[in-house]
Structure 1
Amino acid sequence: MLNALEVITTVVVGLMVGVEFSVAFVMNRILGALPDDAGQMGHAHGGRMLGAVMPVWYIGSLVLAGIWAVAGRHHHGTGLVITAAALLILSVIMSVLLLVPINNRNKTWTAENRPADWKEQLNRWNRWHYVRVAVIIAAFASLVTALV
């Protein structure tokens, strides 16, 4: 049973890393190459779509890592799983305090109501997102290392 939990947790976190990496290094480049209105509208749509899914994914990943840490507390690699869980907690805190407020504003913007500093706000979101991606990659690497 523990083996299945380890694999499921690692796959769930790995897929989340893949999505967030893709947002950072693929989708943002595509959206950034579009004309102003289209790029910002794409960011807004992505914020609405992923904003509905990612909280469940982040919290679910954290819960799975926590269960793994408790269930495998007497097994090799538990410290790495606890480290991964701590990093996932950090990613959730970063999301709630730094990224979600910008995303919540952005997903309501239209060409008529965008603030003058909308590009700076999106750039700030992108910078924090790069840091968050690094944090969840570290969490994923810790989980993978705990498996071996």
Structure 2
Amino acid sequence: MQPQVLFLEEFIMEILDVAAMMVAGLMVGCELAIAVFIHPTLDKLPDGAHQPAASAIARVLGTVMPFWYNLTFLLTLAELVLRWHQTAHVSIVLAASASLWMLASVYSLIALVPVNNRIQSWDTSAPPADWKKYRRTWDMHHRWRTAVLTIAFGFLLVGVR
């Protein structure tokens, strides 16, 4: 192969590596911050402040996160496919990472999105009587998802080195 083509291919892979790690790392950091800091802080607020804040956060993140999840999965998949193309063997850790990103996305659609949609639709002046039960359910599912995402991110970091 010509030296210019090899240089360009290596340069593109470096850009992809950085993009994949940044996008994934920021997303996992955001999800971890929600699980460890934001929602526990919301739980300490009086109900009159907690419920409207939770509803507003659910609306914002419900809009942004689907794009972010898909972008992270696609970048991880691109890493896997391009490295397979270059070396003619599949990286098990990148395959595991891509699989876990996809699993987390499917889990989100099944377990978290329905609860999130319910939370964001509540009338903030008159939430349902059992609204905290839904918040606790969402938080429990979110902690599981965050654990899976953290492992997927670790696999991605190992796979691109």
Q: Which residues in structure 2 correspond to 1:101-140 (within 5 Å)?
A: 101-140=114-153
User: Are residues 72 and 38 of structure 1, via their aligned partners in 2, closer, same or farther at CA, if it must alter by over 3 Å?
Assistant: same
Deviation at 1:147, TM superposition (A): 2.6
Q: Which one-letter code corresponds to 2:96 in the other structure?
A: T
* 2:9 match: none
Q: Which residues in structure 2 correspond to 1:1-148 (within 5 Å)?
A: 1-73=12-84, 74=87, 78-148=91-161
**Counterpart-to-counterpart distance in 2, 1:6 and 1:75:** 19
**Counterpart-to-counterpart distance in 2, 1:71 and 1:37:** 51
User: Are residues 75 and 142 of structure 1, via their aligned partners in 2, closer, same or farther at CA, if it must alter by over 3 Å?
Assistant: farther
Structure showing greater radius of gyration is 2
Deviation at 1:6, TM superposition (A): 1.5
Percent same amino acid among aligned pairs?
Answer: 34
Structure 2 gap ranges (5+): 1-11
Structure 1 gap ranges (5+): none
Q: Which one-letter code corresponds to 1:124 in the other structure?
A: T
Conserved in 2, the CA contact under 8 Å of 1:87 and 1:136?
yes
**Counterpart-to-counterpart distance in 1, 2:73 and 2:153:** 11
**Counterpart-to-counterpart distance in 1, 2:154 and 2:90:** 12
Conserved in 1, the CA contact under 8 Å of 2:79 and 2:160?
no
Q: Work out the number of aligned pairs and report it.
A: 148
TM-score by length of 1: 0.94
User: Are residues 77 and 15 of structure 1, via their aligned partners in 2, closer, same or farther at CA, if it must alter by over 3 Å?
Assistant: farther
